[in-house]
Amino acid sequence: THPYPAQAGNPTYNLSMKTLVIVESPTKAKTISKFLGRNFIVKSSFGHVRDLPKSKLGVDVEHNFEPHYIVSRDKTKIAKELKEAAKKSDAILFATDEDREGEAISWHLANILGIEPKEVKRIVFHEITKHAIMHAMENPRHLDLKMVDAQQARRVLDRLVGYELSPFLWRKVAKGLSAGRVQSVAVRLVVEREREITAFKPEEYWSLEGFFQTQKKETFQTKLYTIKDKKLDKMDVKNKEQADKILKDLDGANYKVENVEQKKTKRLPSPPFTTSTLQQEANNHLGFSAKQTMRLAQQLYEGAELGSEGSVGLITYMRTDSVNLSEKFLGEAKEVINKEFGSNYTLPKIRSYHNKSKNAQEAHEAIRPTDASITPESIKEHLERNLYKLYNLIWRRAMATQMAAAELNATVIDVASDNAYKFRANGQTISFDGFLKLYPDKAKENILPELAKDEKVDCQELKPEQHFTEPPARYSDATLVKALEAHGIGRPSTYAPTIATIEDRGYVERDDKKKLKPKDIAYLVNDLLVEHFPHVVDLQFTAEMENSLDEIAHGKKEWQPVISAFYGPFKENLEKKEKEISKKELTEEKTDQICEKCNSSMIIKTGRFGKFMACSNYPECKNTKSLDPDEEKAQEAAQASNEKCEKCGEPMILRHGRFGQFLGCSGYPKCKNIKGIDIKMNLKCPKCGTGDIVQRRSKKRGKPFYGCNRYPECDFAMWEKPTGEFCPECKQPLVFAPKDVIKCSNKECAYKKESAITPEESSA
């Protein structure tokens, strides 16, 4: 099942030679070393050793886009060590990851070590196990230069967009901004979703539930389904008046069972994980971000310490779009399932899955455990908590694919009134849990009473319910990955870095549900790109470019013509827009307010960190005001503090960063002391009784939280914004919760009520 079996033309290799094996990760090197003898030295390159320079474009656009690679300053020591190790070895094997990035790393390393690409001996494997490593050692191959070209094309393309469009944004919008071929499309999706939410107008609709009792005094719940044989759509009952009319029609009605339908159904398990589905499920079930999921998966792939066994690679390669499973794993899985659950949970023949993506690499495998017999519970004590959670998810999903289908009994009961209203109840029981025993989904039992056709039932209650349509939800990591994949944008290796980039660059932030919310600057930059650089952020164009990169990897296209076809029109348009677009028109809005310092008019400006009010007489007058009520309070607090720097004695002054206002030493850059600004919440600390609750921001993400100002003497803190009132039941602070609800901050107290104002309005 190895993707690169021995073929005519592949390089030969003598296992008895003194050999240097180069990988890109020290953890991977440690795990691989266990399987090799004394003739082998395994070294890590710590990722890319050679890349485009950071200080300049590094691409010769006049000479067929020739890239200029350099060994980065922080990698010179590693490059030197690898050269010295290579001189002492009889042979060199490159064992970097089996995707385009890994192929390019090997190509760069060969160049550094002075090895002709055609002479390179390359080994690849999907899992870091003895079986896979030894098979790879016996079957080396040449470098796949088509994959190298595809990686070069992506690198050059992204460099051209990033290094030419980003400075344009600095000049026309604000310094420090960035643009990217995939990241800008991701920002567009987030911005457009937020605008859908803002423009959404909720519509009222009603449903009617009926509660009935059988002759045996068993109750069951139904929902109004048809009126005079017309099936009710969700929005058919639009208001209370219509709901009341139905209740009036049914007043005094008699009911009987019109129909009972029972059928057996089967439910099949989902395919094993690909990169995108793993990121989606880990986000939905475990709350992990895409970046966090890939970091943990990398650790599981490269090797986790399992006590006396040492470092063990626990999963196969985690950047894949294939749903294939090896015959070796399928055999192991059947044995484990039979042993753990019994023969009735095994399959008579293997269950296979097929890729939906036309560009999926069928030679690769899905993400699965390297050994089916290594159950999550057997290694739980050796794994950090989140590593265990992710391994548990991967193991169960892969094993479930080879378990018997779940068998369900579905029941539909229709109850009709004597004046042509029909109510329906849906129920199901699980007659055989099958794969659900290992990987439960939303299949919950809803048991209905045994009823016969024409049996009379009594109506206990008719309950009308008012509803309102809800706007589409903000993107989570899971739904944004799904959207990118659906549009054909990016590939398995790019989803997580793309989301991390748009967050790190300040285009999006997380709301209280960890969903992605665009910042002010995202709207401005997105609208600028959509209007003036439509190709850069066009979903279809970006997907077509991904297809071109795939065709380069398959040898169907040369990479330089693909870059040339994009760059010529892009550069011409960039030069044109440089002359046409005015920064002032983009970033400034007039207001009717007057500056209290110089009597000039105030304007609203959009900078890298969002919108703020500033004097139009800048730079003569540098008066600014925040549009955020909380930051305005911070500004007032800062101005009133007259605080001195505790490190050098210079005055502390108000500064503005990506996470809002803070105090910084006026002696900067000699003194870099900074300090957060406490915003009082008009609430005494419920823990110590003497301190005040103030708003602060977390160091890592800048997320607001609320804690006692006597910290570290008092460590009381909470994430939700307090209302300033206390719970009438347990006397703990009340806080603002989602969907306009006020609840008790004490998790053991169930008190909640509807809020008349939002947290933002409370600030104002």
Which positions are annotated as active-site residues? 317
Alpha-helix residue ranges (DSSP H) falling in 487-538:
495-504, 520-532, 534-537
User: Which tokens sit at 339?
Assistant: 């042993």
Residue count of the chain: 764
Backbone angles phi, psi at 261, to 5 degrees: -125, 130
Phi, psi of 82 (to 5 degrees): -70, -40
Query: CB of 111 within 8 A of CB of 68?
Result: no
Instruction: Please classify residue 531 by burial: count the beta carbons closer than 10 Å to its beta carbon, then call 0-12 exposed, 13-18 middle and 19+ buried.
Output: exposed
- In terms of Cβ atoms closer than 10 Å to its own Cβ (0-12, 13-18, 19+), residue 248 is exposed
Classify 738 in phi/psi space as left (phi over 0), alpha (psi -120 to 50) or beta: beta
Cα separation, 694 vs 685, whole angstroms: 9
CA 196 – CA 389 distance, rounded (Å): 35
The answer to whether the CB of 638 falls within 8 A of the CB of 610 is no
Tokens of 313: 């690679």
Neighbours of 536 (CB within 10 A): 22
DSSP letter for 417, please: E
Helix (H) or strand (E) holding 256: strand 255-267
Strands 19-23, 40-44: pairing kind: parallel
Distance CA 640, CA 653 (A): 11
Which 3-state string (H, E, C) describes 82-103? HHHHHHCCCEEEECCCCCHHHH
User: In whole angstroms, what is the distance from residue 638 CA to residue 647 CA?
Assistant: 18
How far is the C-alpha of 739 from the C-alpha of 520, rounded, in Å? 23
Peptide bond into 619 cis (omega under 30): yes
| Lookup: tokens for 453 | 């056709």
If DSSP codes are grouped into helix, strand and coil, which group holds residue 8? coil
- Dist CA 104 CA 52 (whole Å): 13
Asked if 724 and 701 count as a contact pair (C-beta separation under 8 A), the reply is: no
Query: For residues 319, 322, 328 and 330, what is the CA-based torsion angle, rounded to 10 degrees?
Result: 120
* Nearby residues of 617 by Cβ (< 8 Å), 6 or more positions away: 595, 598, 600
Phi, psi dihedral angles at 119 (to 5 degrees): -95, -5
Residue 243: burial class (beta carbons within 10 Å; 0-12, 13-18, 19+):
buried
CB 661 within 8 A of CB 626: yes
